[in-house]
Amino acid sequence: MRFSVISTQSFGLWSWGLIPWIASMNSLGLAHLSFLSFFFFLFLIYPSSLSWNLLWLDWGFDYLSLCLICLSCLVIGLSILMSLESSCSEMTKSCGLLLVTLILTFSTSSLLYFYCGFEFSVVPMVYIILRWGSEAVRLVAAGYMVVYTLFSSMPLLWGLACLADKTCETSMLILTKTPFSGYMDSLWWVAMILAFLVKSPLYPFHLWLPKAHVEAPTFGSMILAGVMLKLGTYGLFRVCPIYMTGHHIINSVVIAMGVWGSAYSGLIALRVLDMKEMVAYASVGHMSLVVAGIFSNTTWGWGGAFIMMLSHGLVSSLLFGLVGYMSTYSGSRGFIFNRGWMNIRPWLSVFMFIGCSANMGVPPFPSFLGELGLMTGLGLYNWVNFIVVGISCVLTGAYSLRLYLLTQHGSSPSHLRPIESASNGPAVVSFIAHSIFIILLNFIWVM
Amino acid sequence: MSGSILTSVGSRIFSLNTIHTYFFFILMFSGGLMCSSCTDLFTGWVGMEVMLLCFFPVVLKHHMPWLSVLGCVNYFVIQVIGSNLYFVSSCFMSAFDSKHWMISILLALFLKLGMFPFSFWVPKVYSSLEWGGCLMVSVWQKYGPLFIMANNYLNQKFWWLVTLSGVLSVWIGGMLGVTVNSVRVLMGWSSVCHAGWMAILTLTSEWILLLYFLTYALICTALFSMFELTGLMNFSSFAYYSQTTRACLCLGLLSMAGVPPLSGFFLKWVGLLSLIESGFELISLALIMGSGMSALLYMNLVFTLSVHSWAMSLSYPITTPMWEAGDYIRMFILIFMFPFLFFFLN
């Protein structure tokens, strides 16, 4: 029991001190704060090594968590910038709460703290969907999100309690012993990974994601796709070393679901009529591949998953920003109402081009490196995966081209004409910054 | 601003205005202590009867006694049936020297706690009581039966009955609670869920049970007095509340649901650790899944509180029940007791 004394106590104390300070800021201030903390953590990466740097008790970080902290600071800052014109104090508060929660979540070495942040980060996200969602269906969408994440994270809590009780330790640093053996071991392993699979999301558990994205406001879906999904894959990166050597049957099932699910969600993305839903299915496909890459237990797979995770964070954030921008002005998320944007906003199609080609993994963009690593790692696991991952990459290219061609080319409909004279707003800055950081991601140092 | 937290909140939600109601209040606590310190079943019965009889003068407000009479009568009938069953079967147990009468004793206690096979009375009673009465039924009236269970060694022998009823009441409470439209009935189903947890914890460790009970009592007190102070009846009355009131209510409900940095998570974590330590691994998995189900109880309420309300956009001002600053501070203290609780574990 003593172990639990220190553990959850300090999670609470840290976060409470920071929240009132951040709650007193305005939106631009919070954007500044998140950019500043992005650069702060970015410069921490280089002096720190790949291994863990512990600060105090169970608080500290390694390379992976520093990269994810940087990603969350950047994406939250850029998403605030994206909807700066319609910002209000509740938006600042919820984004600030999310920022603090994510930084704390990624900077612990204890799985229990991580669980706390993993669970709590759902609260501001659901609030964002409920408060700024446009239609009454948002209640259903938020309900789906809560039910999926809640039900899947209860077994994780049980798994952590088993781990804490049998091995007296929940630290990520020395996660080598498992509490059970035999069939209980398999049950425990499913309980440990299920929450992360749902959060990532792996293909069959993804149903909450497109709904949540369709109903969320632009900045909400940018944060959701950019950072929140990475909580799941980050958790997998942390718990998977337990089964690094053994070939667990469950791991093969997860790989199969990830690889085939990626191809399926590519097919779904080819035929949906809603732009936001399409980008959501694109992120389901990419994240399923990332999950499969983590479970392949190869160096290539892990490196590819790492790069793909970071690049997907920025690329999907950019795409959601663009799609949200278009649908704000055209009044609809449907492809039918968004044609010929190139005539209306020529600069928009530049960013759309960058976003779509980064999404499909064209060489100068980091997604290419990610896909290369994932394909190699999964192919090393089993040669069939080469074919399926290849199909899913082709499908990715196809739906990215579809998104670009349908929205940018063709004659622009008459309801878009009046928009020609509207001002651009701070969204452009957000798109430019996204594009720059996507390119800069190429210079990342692979684990 | 006078007295401690308990007195000032208590004087608003209970009828603690005159000296004789204080007398009944203290008598009720002593009945609970009698239950928790008894060594035989008969003394426990006496303690439970004292608690039951002192419940009514505390809960009925003497300037408007008609408010919760119906709930009190319903509650009285159910509790008397439970007590009689308990009394008769404990007499039979000593007369016939058969351990199997413990089954019917346990069933009588489940009836008194409102647990699974007998949770039908919960919506009826909660919907016709006031918030003070609901608080008493949820918290203090559960103390006696729970600690009688924890004290009796035969409880361990019939562990299957306790775990079956406990797990099922967590699941059923969550399932039946999500369809409910009245906030008090919803809190009633939530108390069924927590009673399930506590009944299973009687099998493990009395200290953990006490810790669970105290934390649950704190959260319940905070939440129910917030409901009382905001004059809340059903979901539609949320529309008039200020942002801060909504945030407070949301935090209280999330704490009840067990969202991590709040006190409610502490209940789950401590309960799970203690159950796994005693070897109930699979049962604790079923229980925590049911806890996920029961966390959905509060979802509708929290959603209603979070959605931007139409009343905000009205042009005329709406008078809302105002809170003093002290009220907010009290609520925050009660909800965020979380880190300090861990010091008791050491």
Sign of the dihedral defined by the CA atoms of residues A239, A244, A247, A252, in that order: positive
The secondary structure element, H or E, covering residue B86 is helix B69-96
Comparing A391-395, A441-445, B3-7, B151-155, which segment has the lowest mean pLDDT? B3-7
Contacts of B285 in chain A (CB under 8 A): 155, 158, 187, 191
Distance CA A362, CA B21 (A): 78
CB count within 10 Å of CB A335 equals 16
- Name the CA dihedral angle for B156, B158, B161, B163, rounded to a multiple of 10 degrees: 20
Q: What is the pLDDT of residue A346?
A: 86
Q: What is the pLDDT of residue B344?
A: 45
CB count within 10 Å of CB A49 equals 9
Does the distance separating the beta carbons of B291 and A116 come in below 8 Å?
A: no
Does the distance separating the beta carbons of A116 and B306 come in below 8 Å?
A: no
What is the distance in angstroms between the Cα of B124 and the nearest Cα belonging to chain A? 28
The secondary structure element, H or E, covering residue A53 is strand A53-56
Distance CA B183, CA B127 (A): 9
Contacts of B251 in chain A (CB under 8 A): none
Hey, is the C-beta of B207 within 8 angstroms of any chain A C-beta? no
Hey, is the C-beta of B277 within 8 angstroms of any chain A C-beta? yes
Distance CA A160, CA A170 (A): 7
Instruction: Pick B299's closest partner by Cβ from A90, A146, A154.
Output: A146
User: Six-digit token pair at B227?
Assistant: 């409901």
φ/ψ (deg, to 5) at A365:
-100, 150
Q: What is the pLDDT of residue B129?
A: 87
Give me the amino acid identity at A43: F
φ/ψ (deg, to 5) at B146:
-65, -45
SS3 at position A108? strand
Hey, is the C-beta of B254 within 8 angstroms of any chain A C-beta? yes
More confident residue, A28 or A280: A280
Closest CA to A287 of A247, A317, A258, A324: A258
Distance CA B284, CA B281 (A): 5
Instruction: Pick A157's closest partner by Cβ from B266, B272, B338.
Output: B272
Closest CA to A160 of A186, A147, A183, A179: A179
DSSP codes joined into one string, B177-188: HTT--BHHHHHH
Distance CA B342, CA A112 (A): 15
Q: Please determine, for residue B15, whether its predicted confidence score (pLDDT) is greater than 80.
A: no
Give me the amino acid identity at A8: T
DSSP codes joined into one string, A180-196: --THHHHHHHHHHHHHH
User: Six-digit token pair at A339?
Assistant: 């044609």
Distance CA A238, CA B177 (A): 36
Comparing A363-377, A425-439, B166-180, B325-339, which segment has the lowest mean pLDDT? B325-339
Give me the amino acid identity at B282: L
What average pLDDT is seen over chain A? 87
Instruction: Say if residues B273 and B265 touch (Cβ distance below 8 Å).
Output: no
Domain ranges of chain A: 58-444
Residues 6+ apart with CB under 8 A from A381: A255, A296, A297, A298, A301
More confident residue, A417 or B283: B283
Closest CA to A265 of A431, A356, A388: A388
Q: Please determine, for residue B286, whether its predicted confidence score (pLDDT) is greater than 60.
A: yes
Distance CA A288, CA B269 (A): 31
By residue count, chain B amounts to: 346
More confident residue, A17 or A314: A314
What is the distance in angstroms between the Cα of A151 and the nearest Cα belonging to chain B? 6
| pLDDT confidence bin for B122, thresholds 50/70/90 | very high
SS3 at position B76? helix
Q: What is the pLDDT of residue B104?
A: 93
pLDDT tens across A273-297, in order? 999 999 999 999 999 999 999 998 8
Contacts of A115 in chain B (CB under 8 A): 260
Hey, is the C-beta of B247 within 8 angstroms of any chain A C-beta? no
Which chain A residues touch B if contact means CB-CB below 8 Å?
A: 1-2, 4-5, 8-9, 11-13, 15-16, 90, 115-117, 119-120, 123, 126-127, 130-131, 139, 142-143, 146-147, 150-151, 153-155, 157-158, 161-162, 164-166, 180, 184, 187, 191
Does the distance separating the beta carbons of B288 and A157 come in below 8 Å?
A: yes
DSSP A55: E
Q: What percent of chain A has pLDDT over 90?
A: 51
Helix segments in A272-365, DSSP class H:
275-295, 299-330, 341-344, 346-360
Instruction: Say if residues A121 and A68 touch (Cβ distance below 8 Å).
Output: no
DSSP A171: B
Ranges A1-5, A217-221, B237-241, B247-251, most confident = A217-221
Closest CA to B146 of B107, B113, B189: B113
Distance CA B172, CA B122 (A): 12
User: Six-digit token pair at A242?
Assistant: 């337990």
Instruction: Say if residues A327 and A409 touch (Cβ distance below 8 Å).
Output: no
Does the distance separating the beta carbons of A5 and B342 come in below 8 Å?
A: yes
User: Six-digit token pair at A177?
Assistant: 């012993």
Q: Which residues of A225-252 are buried (b: 16+ CB within 10 A; e: fewer)?
A: bbbbbbbbbbbbbbbbebbeeeebeebe
DSSP codes joined into one string, B237-294: GGGG--HHHHHHHHHHHHHHHT-TTSHHHHHHHHHHHHHHHTT-HHHHHHHHHHHHHH
Does the distance separating the beta carbons of B285 and A130 come in below 8 Å?
A: no
Ranges A45-54, A173-182, A330-339, most confident = A330-339
Prior bond to A418 cis, omega within 30? no
Distance CA A287, CA A289 (A): 5
| pLDDT confidence bin for A39, thresholds 50/70/90 | confident
Q: Please determine, for residue B6, whether its predicted confidence score (pLDDT) is greater than 60.
A: no
Residues 6+ apart with CB under 8 A from B95: none
Instruction: Pick B273's closest partner by Cβ from A1, A13, A142.
Output: A1
Residues 6+ apart with CB under 8 A from A384: none
Q: What is the pLDDT of residue A137?
A: 86
Instruction: Say if residues A315 and A308 touch (Cβ distance below 8 Å).
Output: no
Q: What is the mean pLDDT of residues A43-64?
A: 77
Residues 6+ apart with CB under 8 A from A97: A19, A22, A23, A124
| pLDDT confidence bin for B333, thresholds 50/70/90 | low
Q: What is the pLDDT of residue A48?
A: 67
Q: Please determine, for residue A236, whether its predicted confidence score (pLDDT) is greater than 70.
A: yes
The secondary structure element, H or E, covering residue B164 is helix B159-177
B309 alpha carbon, distance to own chain's centre:
30
Closest CA to A93 of B184, B243, B293, B319: B243
pLDDT tens across B206-248, in order? 889 998 998 898 888 888 877 877 766 656 566 666 667 777 7
pLDDT tens across B152-207, in order? 888 888 999 999 999 999 999 999 988 888 888 999 999 999 999 999 999 998 88
Q: What is the pLDDT of residue A344?
A: 85
Does the distance separating the beta carbons of B308 and A12 come in below 8 Å?
A: no
The secondary structure element, H or E, covering residue A61 is strand A59-61
Contacts of A153 in chain B (CB under 8 A): 292
| pLDDT confidence bin for A19, thresholds 50/70/90 | low
Q: What is the pLDDT of residue A52?
A: 79
Instruction: Say if residues B114 and B121 touch (Cβ distance below 8 Å).
Output: yes
φ/ψ (deg, to 5) at B304:
-60, -35
CB count within 10 Å of CB B20 equals 10
Give me the amino acid identity at B29: F
Q: Please determine, for residue A132, whether its predicted confidence score (pLDDT) is greater than 90.
A: no
φ/ψ (deg, to 5) at A54:
-90, 135
Task: Specify which residues B137 forms β-bridges with.
Answer: none
What average pLDDT is seen over chain B? 81
Contacts of B276 in chain A (CB under 8 A): 161-162, 165-166
Contacts of B293 in chain A (CB under 8 A): 151
3-state SS record for B60-71: CCCCCCCCCHHH
φ/ψ (deg, to 5) at B153:
-70, -20
Query: Degrees (nearest 5) of the Cα angle A429, A434, A436?
Result: 95
| pLDDT confidence bin for A426, thresholds 50/70/90 | confident
Q: Please determine, for residue B305, whether its predicted confidence score (pLDDT) is greater than 70.
A: yes
Q: Which residues of A188-198 are buried (b: 16+ CB within 10 A; e: fewer)?
A: bbebbbbbbbb
